[in-house]
Structure 1
């Protein structure tokens, strides 16, 4: 069900840079509970994957999903580095690398190498330290992409 909802929203976003939905209407459309819509939006439409999500609660509430367009590569790298911060989970880091690959910013080999270097098994550290080291590795890779 999550894949179907994601596919639908991405199809709409393919026609426009943003979509505004009502959670209850989407739940009715897909015959699911509203929390399923939340799950899809929270896991599949993240900043790391190139989307901004805005929401307004209440009777006239909505959820707006906006596909992010950055002006140039340098701005994109700066934004991603800011998102990474000092700590990042493996899932979020892999999502960023996947998005860079999908946008042809990285080739497959580069993406695979970066993900291998950030893998929790390879790092072999406690979770908190691994997140911090992973963030440093990812930011270093992103900074080095400026100087091809």
Structure 2
């Protein structure tokens, strides 16, 4: 059975698709009322499922006339996408964020399913016998090396 977060995410993604190129503007309280949940549930869904590494940009304005604006961002080509993901990785990255980046690359058809599976397999925290800071740095270095390699097509 699906949980409320999955249902809210699916609803918001469908609404974004239907809006074309226009950003989606919502009121937290209206969505919460629609799904009979607390507004913080809407915050949770937006903060965890509509991140830059997943291909979304979120703006919010608090207060009486407040809103949340969600936009699907699309790079011009896969090269731009790889460069954008490399910037997101930075000097260290946790396993969850790394996996989100890889999933986005697959969703954008920049990598194959096999490449995604290989990349995800080496992001697993159990492979790094180190403290958290060092582990996240090593993971970032490995992910960046893979992304740099994938930026260029094979020459035959």
Is residue 69 of structure 2 the alignment partner of residue 78 of structure 1?
no
**Residue in 1 aligned with 2:150?**
145
TM-score (norm 1): 0.96
Q: CA RMSD in A?
A: 1.0
Q: How many corresponding residue pairs?
A: 148
CA contact (8 A) 1:51 1:65 kept: yes
Give ranges in structure 2 of 5+ residues lacking alignment.
none
SS of residue matched to 1:69:
coil
Give the gaps of 5 or more residues in structure 1. Answer: none
Moved more, 119-128 or 41-50: 119-128
- Cα distance, 1:124 vs structure 2: 2.0
Structure 1 runs of 4+ with >4 Å offset: none
Equivalent residue, structure 2, for 1:60: 65
Task: Determine if contact 1:116/1:122 at 8 Å carries over to the other structure.
Answer: no
* CA distance in structure 1 between the aligned counterparts of 2:123 and 2:39, rounded to whole angstroms: 35
- TM-score (normalised: structure 2): 0.91
Instruction: Indicate which of 10, 14, 18 corresponds to 1:11.
Output: 14
Output the CA distance in 1 between the equivalents of 2:128 and 2:119.
12
Residue 27 of structure 1: aligned partner: 32
